[in-house]
């Protein structure tokens, strides 16, 4: 059953340089229990997509298209109706646990925030629920009393608090916007495992946003590769990872350092994608990756390629998809 569907989502931000197209015709859908990953490099519009889903875009932005939550377009809702959805039906975990918690409020009060707003509980029940949530994210209340302030916790512990606040009302959809980017690798594993467990336990849909293909591989079943505000390729994570069809996806994968390819011995050089992300001020009518793509032709620069299906769920937006793997 489709939980959330974005149709032709577009975001423009008005700046002094005119209106910049940040997200362009992005469509995807998330079913209940789905685990969707969005991957792409910095500035490709991953986080803006997440904010758009919660209608939390900066005031100078324009949004077009539709975002349907259980069939209802949330872009047409009033501010009050949106507040009912945020935190209650969609929860979000932000990237920086250091700044996403209010420094002058106790962690207990921050976890209880959405409960106070959305759940029909009395004070005692709220405290019980907060304690339960703390246990869920493995912060036993005995060691971490509710009246601690964020500065008394480590980064990983703060991210656990963030997760507890996001799942407090058992949302249908949990958006994790680079939840582990600010943490070191060992803590990263723990946090990802925790998110995975909680998603299963609470039967939430997960939208994992990351630039790290490893994180995506670990946590998602479907993936969407974005570049400069457009979708390049989408499909089941396994299919996309095994038979990447878009040159950009290919480039992303070759940019992962592999064991055995030592930089010192120089046996195998680490690949990079030449060039830079296009400036959103420049209007590009064709494929936005064309300038950096070794397969590009004139066609690529003239018009944006249509969606090409590789299999039932795997599709790519490219005139010259790479054929790899089995076929």
CB of 307 to other proteins, least distance (A): 31
Residues 111-130 interacting with other proteins (rule: CB under 8 A): 113-114, 117-118
Q: Which is nearer to other proteins, 150 or 247 (CB)?
A: 150
Other Cβ atoms closer than 10 A to 190: 15
Q: How far apart are CA 136 and CA 71, in angstroms?
A: 31
Residue matched to tokens 């592999």: 258
Residue among 1 and 104 whose Cβ is closer to other proteins: 104
Q: Per the structure block, which two tokens stand in for 164?
A: 């507890």
22 vs 101, which CB is nearer to other proteins?
A: 101
User: In a 3-state reduction of DSSP, which class is residue 149?
Assistant: coil
How far apart, in whole angstroms, are the C-alpha atoms of residue 233 and residue 255? 17
The single-letter DSSP state of residue 234 is E
C-alpha–C-alpha distance, residues 151 and 103, integer Å? 7
Q: Which residue number, 105 or 242, has a Cβ lying nearer to other proteins?
A: 105
Contact 237, 216 (CB under 8 A): yes
Residue with tokens 């939390």: 56
CB of 77 to other proteins, least distance (A): 12
Scan for tokens 């195998």, then name that residue.
268
Q: What is the contact mask toward other proteins in residues 70 to 109, using x (rule: CB under 8 A)?
A: ---------xx--xxxxxx-xxx-x-x--xxxxxxx----
In angstroms, the CA 87 to CA 167 distance is 8
Least separation in angstroms between residue 266's CB and other proteins is: 41
Taking the complex as a whole, the smallest distance from the CB of residue 151 to other proteins amounts, in Å, to: 11
Report the 10 Å Cβ neighbour count for 147. 10
35 forms part of the interface with other proteins (CB under 8 A): no
Alpha-carbon gap, residue 221 to 151, rounded angstroms: 35
- Which is closer to other proteins, CB of 34 or CB of 177? 177
User: For other proteins, what does the binding mask look like between residues 181 and 200, x meaning CB under 8 A?
Assistant: --------------------
Cβ of residue 89: shortest distance to other proteins, in angstroms?
9
The DSSP code for 151 is G
Residues contributing to the site for other proteins (CB under 8 A): 54, 56, 59, 79-80, 83-88, 90-92, 94, 96, 99-105, 113-114, 117-118, 162, 165-166
């Amino acid at each position: 059953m489709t939980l959330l569907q974005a149709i032709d989502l577009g975001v423009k931000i008005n700046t002094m340089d005119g209106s910049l197209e940040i997200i362009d015709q992005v469509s995807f859908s998330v079913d209940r229990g789905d685990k969707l990953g969005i991957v792409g490099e910095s500035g490709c519009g991953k986080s803006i997509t997440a904010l758009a889903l919660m209608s939390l875009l900066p005031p100078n932005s324009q949004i077009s298209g539709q975002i349907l939550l259980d069939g209802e377009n949330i872009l047409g809702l009033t501010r009050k109706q949106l507040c009912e959805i945020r935190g209650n039906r969609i929860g979000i975990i932000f990237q920086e646990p250091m700044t996403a918690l209010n420094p002058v409020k106790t962690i207990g009060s921050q976890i209880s925030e959405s409960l106070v707003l959305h759940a029909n509980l009395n004070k005692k029940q709220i405290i019980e629920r907060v304690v339960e949530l703390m246990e869920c994210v493995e912060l036993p209340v005995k060691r971490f009393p509710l009246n601690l302030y964020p500065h008394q916790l480590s980064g990983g512990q703060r991210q656990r608090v963030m997760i507890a606040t996001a799942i407090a009302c058992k949302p249908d959809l949990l958006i994790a916007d680079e939840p582990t980017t600010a943490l070191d690798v060992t803590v990263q594993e723990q946090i990802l495992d925790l998110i995975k467990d909680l998603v299963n336990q609470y039967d939430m849909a997960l939208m994992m946003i990351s630039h790290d293909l490893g994180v995506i591989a670990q946590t998602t079943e479907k993936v969407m590769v974005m570049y400069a505000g457009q979708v390049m390729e989408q499909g089941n994570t396994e299919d996309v990872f095994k038979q990447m069809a878009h040159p950009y996806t290919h480039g992303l994968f070759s940019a992962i350092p592999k064991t055995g390819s030592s930089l010192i011995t120089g046996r195998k050089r680490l690949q990079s994608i030449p060039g830079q992300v296009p400036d959103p001020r420049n209007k590009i009518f064709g494929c936005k990756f064309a300038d950096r793509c070794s397969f590009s032709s004139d066609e690529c620069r003239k018009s944006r390629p249509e969606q090409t299906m590789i299999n039932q769920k795997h599709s790519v937006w490219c005139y010259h998809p790479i054929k790899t793997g089995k076929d």
